[in-house]
Amino acid sequence: MRRLASGLCGMALGVLSGGVAGPVAADVTLGGFLQQNTAFNAAGANPDGRNHKWLEERAQIKLDGTTGAWRLMAKGDVAHDHLGRGSRSELREGYVDYTESGWDVRAGRQVLTWGVGDLVFVNDVWPKDYEALFAGRPLEYLKRGTDAVKLGIYPAFASFELVLAPSFRASRVPDARRFHLFDPMPGLVDRRTVEPDQGEAGLRIYRDMAGYDVALYLYRGFQRTPSMRPDRMTAPTRMTLFHPKLAGYGASASGRAGAGVVSLELAYYDSRQDRSGTDFTVPNSQTRFLAGYQWQPWEEGSLGLQYYVEYMHDHGAYRAVLPAGMPVAKRRADTFTVRATQLFLHQTLRLSLYAAHNAGNRDRFVNPELRYAISDRVWVAVGANVFGGRRTGQFGQLARDDNVYLQTRLEF
């Protein structure tokens, strides 16, 4: 990390702060990392015959500059993938902040996270990268940036965060060349994706209530992962991937309870495109509920338990129209998760285990990880992703995609 206070950068930022000519005092930091990331298959080859889920070198540059009420933050990656994707660059985040005492605004590509779940998403409707999660990449790659304007308003009685995104950004689902995804119509090769041509909007309102952090969430946009619709059910020729319209209404609370922290979260997903539930290609309207508890049973250790349920509101209508041979989703899906973390060697070595189990379809996901900071600049992590369950489940379909991963990062 190099700290610069340069007139040149000050000038660049000065332009942002209203076209001020000449050097302006600015505080600029530059940083980044070099990273190697490999995930070895542990249960057989990929659909494309390769034996890695991930094999990549990556560099990130991070620029962070502040002058007065303005801040510019940009994180850019360049990466080389050895599994056929080649060299790519990506703007991970890039935004400008303007801050006043009672309000602020952030414009550009930014990571948004809502809710209180640990790898369970109730109100977190923002884009994710599930491929990153399942291919043993560092946790930050689970989130994709949203291109949006976020307005924060902070009157005394509550805080407001309004997000307006002019264009929709989808979640990234695992690549079918690397993961054994369940496909009800594998023979159908003519596929096309239709992205929503509208934007999306979200509002989060939060405040303290009797020592609890309480939040309300409103969202209007689209399902983040695509649905599939064949052009006709008998002898289909083309499959369309699309993002059904969605509205979300939710709330969360977290705070101290007994010796630990309790988290509660509830959301209603209004499936705007199919309120009657009679279109089996569009997800039903749904209620999601999460209850979690986290505590420290002993020194340097922490345990977190979560119970999560999804409930389909028009299951009868869905069953009535579902064609024969298609996998049947249950009305109610109960999932339990556990996370155990233990720190050693002055918190430079971290052993963690995350496990999720769906009681209905026995879908399961286990992720043990050992991470060691060799020095203040270099850390390595080794871990595994183990999947199981029915062929049609979220994790069960990945049963042949178990992998062991290695992450090495040099920070500068």
Partner 1 sequence: MKRWLLVAMAALLPFTAFALTGEEVMKKSQAAFLYPGKDFKARVVMKLIARDGQERVREMTMLRKNMGEAGGEQKYFMYFFQPADVKDMTFMTYKYPAKDDDRWLFIPAINMVKRIAAQDKRSSFVGSDFTYEDVSGRDIEDDGHAIEREEKLAGTDCFVVKSTPRAADADFGHKLTWVGKESFLPLKEEQYDRKGVPYKLFTAEETRQVKGFPTVVRRVMKNLQTGHRTEVSYLRADYDLGIEDSLFSERFLRQAPRKWVD
Q: How many whole angstroms separate alpha carbon 330 and alpha carbon 309?
A: 11
Q: Which is nearer to partner 1, 48 or 208 (CB)?
A: 208
x-or-dash pattern for partner 1, window 155-184, by CB under 8 A? ----x-------------------------
Q: Which is nearer to partner 1, 113 or 276 (CB)?
A: 113
| 3-state DSSP percent of the chain in helix, strand and coil, to 5 | 10, 55, 40
Two tokens, residue 47: 């659909």
Q: Which is nearer to partner 1, 308 or 379 (CB)?
A: 379
Find the binding residues for partner 1 in span 370-409 (CB under 8 A). Answer: 373, 375-377, 379, 409
Q: Is 224 in the site for partner 1 (CB under 8 A)?
A: no
Residue 94 contacts residue 109 (beta carbons within 8 Å)? yes
Residue whose entry in the numeric block shows the structure tokens 């309000």 = 103
Collect all residues with Cβ–Cβ distance below 8 Å to 312 and sequence separation of at least 6: 277, 284, 285, 286, 318, 329, 330, 331, 332
Q: Is 254 in the site for partner 1 (CB under 8 A)?
A: yes
Beta strands in 154-300 (DSSP E): 159-165, 191-194, 200-209, 212-222, 227-230, 239-242, 245-257, 260-270, 286-295
HSE-up of residue 101 (Cα within 13 Å, Cβ side): 1
Q: How many whole angstroms separate alpha carbon 221 and alpha carbon 244?
A: 9
CB neighbours of residue 204 within 10 Å: 22
Q: Is 97 in the site for partner 1 (CB under 8 A)?
A: yes
Q: Is 255 in the site for partner 1 (CB under 8 A)?
A: yes
Collect all residues with Cβ–Cβ distance below 8 Å to 59 and sequence separation of at least 6: 32, 33, 34, 35, 77, 78, 79
Selection from 282, 240, 289 nearest residue 263 by Cα: 289
Least Å from the CB of residue 29 to partner 1: 8
Least Å from the CB of residue 66 to partner 1: 5
Q: Is 94 in the site for partner 1 (CB under 8 A)?
A: no
Query: Using CB under 8 A, which of the segments 12-20, 109-117, 310-318, 352-360 binds partner 1?
Result: 109-117
Q: Which is nearer to partner 1, 232 or 346 (CB)?
A: 346
Find the binding residues for partner 1 in span 316-335 (CB under 8 A). Answer: none
Q: Which is nearer to partner 1, 105 or 176 (CB)?
A: 105
Q: How many whole angstroms separate alpha carbon 15 and alpha carbon 23?
A: 10
Q: Which is nearer to partner 1, 110 or 223 (CB)?
A: 110
Dihedral sign (CA 373, 72, 152, 246):
negative
Q: Which is nearer to partner 1, 143 or 243 (CB)?
A: 143
Among 60, 263, 285, 403, binds partner 1 (CB under 8 A): 263
Q: How many whole angstroms separate alpha carbon 229 and alpha carbon 190?
A: 12
Query: Using CB under 8 A, which of the segments 4-12, 96-104, 227-235, 264-272 binds partner 1?
Result: 96-104
How many separate helices (H) and strands (E) can be counted in the chain? 3, 22
Find the binding residues for partner 1 in span 27-86 (CB under 8 A). Answer: 27, 31, 33, 64, 66, 71
Q: Is 347 in the site for partner 1 (CB under 8 A)?
A: yes
Could you list the residues that contact partner 1 (CB under 8 A)? 1, 27, 31, 33, 64, 66, 71, 97, 99, 104, 110-113, 116, 138-140, 142-143, 152, 154, 159, 206, 211, 213, 254-256, 259-261, 263, 294-296, 298-300, 302, 343, 346-348, 373, 375-377, 379, 409, 411-412
